[in-house]
Homo-oligomer: A and B are copies of this chain.
Amino acid sequence: MKKLIRGLRDFKSSYFRANEELFEQLSHGQKPRVLFITCSDSRIDPNLITQAGLGELFVIRNAGNIIPPFGATNGGEGATIEYAIQALDIQQIIICGHSHCGAMKGLMKLDKLRVEMPLVHDWLKYAEATRQLVNENYSDYEGEELLDVIIAENVLTQIENLRTYPVIRSKLYQGKLSIYAWIYQIEAGEVLGYDPQNHAYVLLQNELPPSEINQKLISPPLTSNVEIHSSEIKEQAYKLPQEIPSSEYEWFPMTVLSPEQMERIYRGSMAK
């Protein structure tokens, strides 16, 4: 606690003093452009990893970056989403999962939680679609690889849930809202974004040379797992594209990949 108190003082004397104008201005209101939904995990700092300034990210954080379907409960998620879209007119939503997620580990031993952590157990009901999908389609995965798949699939499951909210449905309908699926990889300090074109999670730092991207796509179990199941490819092919206006595709590295690179990526994942 002492440390935090000292931190408050340092913040005031350094950062605040250097940006008094910004704070003066912020005190008159906020106009964030992005709703950032992520896990409560202490290893994630949305503003740090995106280098976003104060006033840019409206943030929802809970265990497992989970969004209950509309009407399923009266927790803070629905109200905060409604406020972000309706009152703040935010037009971009990022749901950001992360590697080594404790909540997703919980999905792998759900029964154990019923007694130990009943509230967590009940909360994970909203990730049940992830659990069942993975059980029925990834029976050959286990350990870290299985966890990576669960993490990747859960972000997409939560987007399905997000789509049931009236405010979301209406804005998507008008083409005024974009939803992005991200995964933050702690050990690499990198963020993978869901690529609707290739049905895979790919590196978002698109200035990296293709060779590296390729490497990325086949090296971490995450994306390769996600890629090799053709059933899944078909599935994911229709999951996100709707929310990502083609003008956004440029964010995705594959636009700078050559057929040969894609080919290598494909082989890379089939190799598993």
Task: List residues of chain A with CB under 8 Å of any chain B CB.
Answer: 1-12, 15-16, 20, 23-24, 26-27, 29-30, 32, 34, 40-45, 47-52, 54-64, 66, 68-84, 86-87, 92, 94, 99-100, 102-103, 116-120, 122-126, 128-129, 131-133, 136-137, 157, 160-161, 163-167, 169-170, 172-175, 178, 180, 186-191, 204-207, 231-232, 234-235, 237-239, 241-242, 248, 251
Pair B100/A50 contact, Cβ less than 8 Å: no
Find chain B residues with CB under 8 A from A27 CB: 99-100, 186-187
- Decide yes or no: A79 and B169 within 8 Å by CB, A12-B189, A86-B116, A190-B8 being known contacts: no
Given A10-B51, A48-B47, A120-B83, A58 and B40 contact (CB-CB distance below 8 Å): yes
**What would 13 A/B residue contacts be, using CB atoms closer than 8 Å?**
A4-B51, A5-B251, A15-B189, A29-B100, A30-B43, A43-B54, A63-B76, A70-B128, A70-B129, A71-B73, A73-B75, A74-B122, A136-B170
Q: Which of B8, B79, B125 contacts A123 (CB 8 A)?
A: B79
Looking at A57, A82, A119, A133, the one whose CB has the most chain B CB atoms below 10 A away is A119
A177 to chain B, nearest CB (A): 11
* Contact present for A117 and B86 (CB under 8 Å): yes
CB of A114 to closest CB in B, whole Å: 11
Which residues of B lie under 8 Å from residue A71 when comparing CB positions? 68-69, 72-73, 125-126
Rank and list the top 4 A-B pairs by shortest CB-CB distance, nearest first. Answer: A75-B75, A62-B76, A238-B242, A7-B51
Copy number in this complex?
4
Once the chains are docked, how many angstroms separate the CA of A78 from the CA of B75? 9
Q: Which of B160, B174, B187, B205 contacts A24 (CB 8 A)?
A: B187
Is there an interface contact between B132 and A170, defined as CB atoms closer than 8 Å? yes
Instruction: Please name the residue on chain B nearest to A174 by beta carbon.
Output: B231
When distances are taken between beta carbons in the complex, the residues of chain B under 8 Å from A70 are: 69, 72, 128-129
